[in-house]
Chain A
Amino acid sequence: MNKIGVFVCHCGDNIAGTVDVERVAKEIAKYDGVAHSVDYTFMCSDPGQKMIKSAIQEKKLDGVIVASCSPTMHEGTFRKAAASAGLNPYQCEIANIREQCSWVHSDKEKGTQKAILIIKSMIEKLKMNEPLYPESMPTNKNVLVIGAGIAGIQAALDIAEAGHKVFLVEKKPYIGGHMIQLSVTFPTLDCSQCILTPKMVQIDQDENIELFVNSEVESIDGAVGNFKIKIKRTAQYINPDICTGCGDCVDTCPVLVPDEYEEGLSYRKAVYMSFPQVIPYTYTLDIDSCLGLDPIACGKCKEACKENAINYDLRDEIIEKTAGAVIIATGYDQYPMENIGEYGYGKYPDVVSGLQFERLIFAVGPSGGKMIRPSDGKPVKEIAFIQCAGSRDPERHLSHCSKICCMYTAKQAKMFKTKVPDGQAYIYYIDTRAAGKDYEEFLQKAQSDQRLIYIRGKVSRIYKEKDKMAISAYDTLSSKKIDAKVDMVVLALGLVPSPGTAELAHKYNLSVGTSGFLSEAHPKLRPVESVNLGFFLAGTCLGPKDIPETVAQASGAASKALALLAHDSVEKSPIIVQVDAEKCDGCGRCAEECIFDAITIDKIQNIAVIDEMKCKGCAYCIPECPHGAIEQKNLSDLQIYNMINAILTKDKKTETFEPKIICFLSEIGPYQAADLAGTGRMEYRPNAFIIKVLSISMLNENHILYALKHGADGVLISGSHPGESPYPGACLKAKERIDLIKSKVKNAGLDPNRIRLEWYAGRQAKGLATYVDNFVEYLKMTGPADSANWRSLN
């Protein structure tokens, strides 16, 4: 590439105020390979873009550098302009001289110098850029929805309505999730079943929806737009088409086990129907509690069935499907009462969970809607509700707020009062949080009720005293210790992700936050997407939330999936890795290490093959390759070295020592932080030069040491915080690698503190700016790095 055009933007005064743009354009014009170099007030404006287009055509440019704002702002704009003039869009690069230069420095001379170096290093990168073409594949139009609670139901219905086929997979024998267990919903107090069952029936009747209950997704292979799915369906032994629902089998079954739907408050048989409105409407034979599918063991149900609907010979089956997108709506579970010692480790029957209370007060629940206590069936006159049971207790239990407990406790207390008008309820709380439409009003009403006494204080202990449950608490408003004796205690247990969420996340490369819930691709701006393309998330698998929010999110996930499927083919960023066939010997190390299973080994030709649809470009595999056979497209080793060389060209002798720092910043996290430092005009020293990488996990020893061997005084490597990285596990591995390099450096008698690794999220602009300043300060004190010494390091 030797006909490069450079376009230096003034950005009004934003750049021109601190950088002598005319001088920059003139200096750059002299640089090797540059055929055209101009400056202009606003490059992004229409005349600016026209200027670029006509220069490409008239001067026959083969590459374009726009020296302007951050690529996150206008990279797309300029690449489009270049493409319309006939260049491949990847032959256009942005030199970020606003956020990384003019906005963070005030000395015009130093700013100008730095801008020139930034542009030169981008020119070096551009010189070796190859034209890239995004891969595309036809999209499969089906959608897989995992979990059939309210979130899964809503998402499935929305997608089916748009005309797509939906596979809805549910682990339990019925759909409706936790919502179908609830009595009424806050703040409107409308019956949960009444609003949910119509949707459940719709699921059953919609021709576009194929429902799999008693089923789990075994595997999802392939990539966005083209997933291959295996669903494992547990044998039900009862043919729903023949079953008339007479219930003769239930009467004869001799087994009794706690009923999961009733939260263990009553018993069911081994052959059972969870509740009369169950969808799909059929009996289930639970093989785990059944005495055995052998006429010798029992066989009573088969004998009793007049229609011969029971068939013991059925076996679990694997059903294979294909889909273009996956929506995960696996929901929540309650924090186990068994973990809370101060509340009796779940050993007192009269200390119940919030969900158990829902069943107890439900008109056709295990107590027939009577407010009686589980231990001896005596009526409940005095009741205590304990909020934050297990929540907001980082030392021992969950650190997060479970969000819905304040509201559902207020609801339950109100319902208790309706059932037992002369009863007395005590509600223990730390704070009440009622942010939601009409929520505060609802809560205020509950709090002003004479028979619902709100006590601000955490309960320290529950124990049995005679036939009452005794509660010790400290009232933080009156500063008194309060001892109460009640008939029943309801724990508003915290919410945790449903069991299996961690395995699911691990299997499908979804990231998980500190509290165990799945993480969004971006907590604010991409709330229903996961980091894995084609996987969408909805409902409480992301974190505690109420029904309206869950439904909104489910519809959001559905529309995001539909937007993806609206395209007949899926395109993918071509910035991925490539294998050098001459160097690769097919050892398979990269395939083992790839977090996205994107590499396979061609055993015949002994070479690693990259699945271009699966590869995310994190380039985690590069340092793993013992032969250096993998490179990232348009950021090869040579490109990195040339960029470093351009930055490190010796300037005129200055009187004082000015260290140079090469900063490798991950695109997500630290690079955003650097941009934000610019936007916030957080001035830092002009000694740091940024090289953007997709992920720092692509860096190997050579990349890092090259800089120090060629005149840099320090290297800063920064990725996003390990928990927030879009490439799960990659950051920690990068840390391991860098620690190794540092110890090697130390052993060689060199200063390991010249290599720094730090985590930065996009929001931590100030932190990054201060860190750079401190690093510069350190290097000034320590003096220049002796590159000759570093070069002796192998």
Chain B
Amino acid sequence: MPPKKKAAAKPNVSAEELLGHYREMLLIRRFEEKAGQLYGMGLIGGFCHLYIGQEAVVVGLEAAAEEGDKRVTSYRDHGHMLACGMDPKGIMAELTGREGGFSKGKGGSMHMFSKEKDFYGGHGIVAAQVPLGAGLAFADKYKGNDRVTFTYFGDGAANQGQVYETYNMAELWDLPVVFVIENNQYAMGTSVKRSTKSPSLWERGAAYGIPGEEVDGMNVLAVKEAGERAVAHCRAGKGPYILEVKTYRYRGHSMSDPAKYRTREEVQKMRDERDPIEQVREMLLTGKHASEDDLKAIDKEIKGIVNEAAEFSKESPEPALEELWTDIYATEIPQEA
């Protein structure tokens, strides 16, 4: 471990913290690359939406979260699960549809949950998770605790009506929910410019009295800082807060998307100039918080974790056929974790 000292770029960040962000973002990237590979091999089926390029969003926001805070998101969910501490083995095994997966293989890439880590899915219908997130926040407020729910959705979902129904009630009832718009600029193949004339998405909250801000989603420290502001607002009982996090996905919408709606140069430029992992790597090296060798060691460690997850996901058996008929009805109410 390098000595703990101030970073060059951001005086308030410790080397330890920067290295943590680096590790977590790298874990997501390597995990997703491996998932893409397993998809190519036919081990993962159906839809598979990769998070590559957007890593700083969840890693920054998780750094602003506390124990007991909740999160809910759409189907592009692998990064969120890794960032909140769910076991990569269980996630990868769910992607391959195996018994060892978080949903015993019955949910798949888009539908995973962890009561233990307060991760409430993994939802496949664009924007449906937005009222669900407000409902989780409603439950916390009802119970009288000060927990906060991070409700993630994309720029595509931001045009759905239920988002605005939810904004209205969330502010009306002062619900402790952070609405995180992950604006990666493309709703499948439709760019933001082709779907709305609104200059910004977060400003729509003003119509309901919800404050918010735009955040550089390629900069993990900027995301964390904004996340802390949002969380403080919610915990203080002031109601919801909107973060429009400008980010970018490098891969297609799903594995079968050739992404012809944008140029290769556009993607390459983002990778070369704005990559969230490279930015932290730069900070670590120029600030002399870590040597090339230190980072290589982290890369190796992450690769090991991801390979182990991939192995597990291949070795874990398919669910028993009896599982087809289980979990349709509860016999008792699932207890709080």
Q: Do A and B come together as binding partners?
A: no
**Residues of A that sit less than 8 Å from B by CB:** none
**Residues of B that sit less than 8 Å from A by CB:** none
